[in-house]
């Protein structure tokens, strides 16, 4: 689909290419990144630091404090003053990675399509008429277009996995509580995680030990995986077909793949209540702020209608629902498999409030298969799984047991060693990519 050109992973570049990476990234940020509307601020050049990630280039969602740029949180003007650099960025700095830009996002990280009425929308490098996904929209677009190697985002209900699926990149949503959140704007603290996006699971595997502060782990592939049949049945045929092809690639790795009916509907209902209630309480001061986008103001106000008892009930339901999912849905398996989204990446108009073509059901569907993972606090990996008939990428989601990030990444690496979906150059920007990172 699209073009036969492919990006090289950071891991596969030689030493000279890695040394040249920051200069090339700064050039790409200033040109292609700006053209896509994905950049809030370019970071000043920094001296090289030796380490396991020396030369790796990073963009950070503009809710992660850099210490050199006041974050906007996706709003028209900065929300806060200059804050100390976030812990996740300090860890990457110490390993030699280079922050090259801050990335655009949806307002308060509270919108799944990428729509931002205050700052304008980020363009999807595959098709400018399609959504880029949210809320980590700029992070996904910059990785997809080859402007940086890795991007940090946040994931409260799917905010790294949805844009990863729309843009054809790989994203890891860690186990809740694994990565530090100091210096990161809160939305719904019971659900918030820092997530990370890259071209490949191989690149994420290099970054994950640094971010998590753990020793590099040679994790074994899962022995068993279970497909959530109800999610495939609910998906559009083109999405289901692409995911089934990716599932075949997993089965070819000698992973025993079975299927099971059912979907964690109760967890999905609780996560909506929890997200709405906590977001409203976290950002209550912005509900009456005329600078807040009107649709977002109404969404936040709706969360205040959820009383404290209902909020406490949704929080209390997490542990038993997680145990029920692990026992009944996963059973003896290590990984649950389902699409990232049940629908193909939609056109912008269809999920933009106020547009005559707006369909609220399609907007709701974007996070239909991702939200429950946040309520259960589980890790998940989003992988490119081929393309639909319109040439747009489709995403597959792998959900693991608590703390199983290394195992998910091992499975992702093995799948991507057999497939080439993750390396494709997006067709809408193929002619502008001249960095030498694409073959």
Each of the 439 residues of the chain gets a pLDDT tens digit; together they read 445 578 888 888 888 888 889 999 999 999 999 999 999 999 998 888 899 999 999 999 999 999 999 999 999 887 777 899 999 999 999 999 999 999 999 999 999 999 999 899 999 999 999 999 999 999 999 999 999 999 999 999 999 999 999 999 999 999 999 999 999 999 999 999 999 999 999 999 999 999 999 988 788 999 999 999 999 999 999 999 999 999 999 999 999 999 999 999 999 999 999 999 999 999 999 999 999 999 999 999 999 999 999 999 999 999 999 999 999 999 999 999 999 999 999 999 999 999 999 999 999 999 999 999 999 999 999 999 999 999 999 999 999 999 999 999 999 999 999 999 999 999 889 888 755 555 5
The domain segmentation of the chain, as residue ranges, is 15-220+337-432
Local structure of 255: helix, strand or coil: coil
Residue 173 falls in the annotated catalytic set? no
15-220+337-432, what's its fold? Amidase signature (AS) enzymes (3.90.1300)
Phi, psi of 299 (to 5 degrees): -65, -45
Beta bridge partners of residue 182, listed in sequence order: none
Reference 138, options 148, 201, 174; nearest CA is 148
DSSP string across 189-201: TTT--EEEEES-H
Q: How far from the centroid of its chain's Cα atoms is residue 88's Cα?
A: 16
The predicted structure's pLDDT at residue 82: 87
Q: How many other C-beta atoms are found inside a 10 Å radius of the C-beta of residue 349?
A: 13
351 neighbors 363 (Cβ within 8 angstroms): yes
CA distance 211 to 231: 31
- Say which of 113, 137, 139, 159 is annotated catalytic: 159
Distance CA 20, CA 7 (A): 16
Residues facing 101 on adjacent strands: 42, 59
200 tagged catalytic: no
Q: Provide CB contacts within 8 A for 308, sequence distance 6+.
A: none
Phi and psi dihedrals of 238, rounded to 5?
Answer: -65, -35
For 228, the token pair is 């959530």
**Predicted pLDDT at 427:** 86
Which one of 72, 135, 137, 154 is the catalytic residue? 135
The answer to whether the CB of 148 falls within 8 A of the CB of 205 is no
Q: How many CA atoms lie within 13 A of 126 on its CB side?
A: 29
pLDDT at 435: 53
Phi, psi of 17, rounded to the nearest 5 degrees: -65, -40
| Mean pLDDT, the chain, whole residue set | 95
The predicted pLDDT at position 2 comes to: 45
Answer yes or no: 190 catalytic.
no
Count CA atoms within 13 Å of residue 72 on its CB side. 21
Structural tokens at position 64: 């992660």
């Amino acid at each position: 689909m699209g073009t036969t050109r492919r990006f090289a992973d950071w891991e596969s570049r030689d030493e000279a290419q890695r040394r040249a990476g920051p200069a090339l990234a700064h050039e790409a940020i200033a040109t292609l990144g700006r053209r896509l509307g994905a950049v809030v601020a370019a970071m000043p050049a920094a001296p090289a630091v030796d380490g396991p990630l020396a030369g790796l280039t990073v963009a950070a969602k503009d809710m992660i404090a850099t210490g050199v740029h006041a974050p906007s949180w996706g709003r028209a003007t900065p929300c806060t003053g200059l804050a100390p650099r976030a812990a996740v960025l300090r860890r990457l700095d110490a390993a030699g990675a280079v922050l090259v830009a801050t990335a655009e996002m949806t307002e308060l990280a509270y919108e799944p399509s990428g729509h931002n009425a205050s700052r304008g929308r980020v363009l999807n490098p595959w098709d400018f008429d399609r959504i880029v996904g949210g809320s980590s929209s700029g992070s996904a677009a910059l990785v997809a277009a080859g402007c940086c190697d890795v991007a940090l985002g946040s994931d409260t209900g799917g905010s790294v996995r949805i844009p990863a699926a729309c843009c054809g990149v790989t994203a890891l949503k860690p186990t809740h509580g694994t990565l530090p959140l100091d210096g990161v704007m809160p939305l719904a603290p019971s659900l918030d995680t820092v997530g990370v996006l890259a071209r490949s699971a191989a690149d994420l595997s290099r970054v994950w030990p640094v971010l998590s502060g753990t020793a590099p782990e040679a994790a074994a592939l899962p022995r068993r995986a279970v497909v959530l049949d109800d999610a495939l049945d609910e998906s559009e045929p083109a999405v289901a077909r692409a995911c089934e092809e990716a599932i075949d690639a997993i089965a070819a790795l000698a992973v025993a793949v079975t299927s099971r009916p059912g979907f964690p509907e109760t967890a999905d209902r609780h996560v909506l209540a929890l997200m709405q209630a906590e977001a409203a309480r976290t950002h209550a001061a912005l509900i009456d702020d005329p600078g807040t986008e009107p649709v977002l103001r109404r969404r936040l106000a709706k969360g205040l209608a959820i009383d404290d008892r209902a909020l406490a009930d949704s929080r209390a339901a997490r542990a038993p629902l997680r145990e029920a999912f692990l026992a009944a849905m996963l059973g003896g398996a290590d990984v649950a498999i389902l699409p990232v989204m049940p629908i193909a990446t939609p056109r912008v108009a269809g999920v933009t409030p106020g547009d005559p073509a707006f369909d609220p059901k399609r907007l709701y569907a974007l996070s239909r298969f991702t939200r429950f993972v946040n309520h259960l606090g589980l890790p998940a990996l989003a992988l490119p799984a081929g393309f639909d008939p319109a040439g747009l990428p489709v995403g597959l989601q792998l959900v693991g047991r608590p703390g199983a990030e290394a195992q998910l990444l091992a499975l992702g690496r093995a799948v991507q060693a057999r497939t080439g979906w993750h390396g494709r150059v997006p067709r809408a920007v193929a002619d502008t990519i001249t960095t030498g990172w694409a073959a």
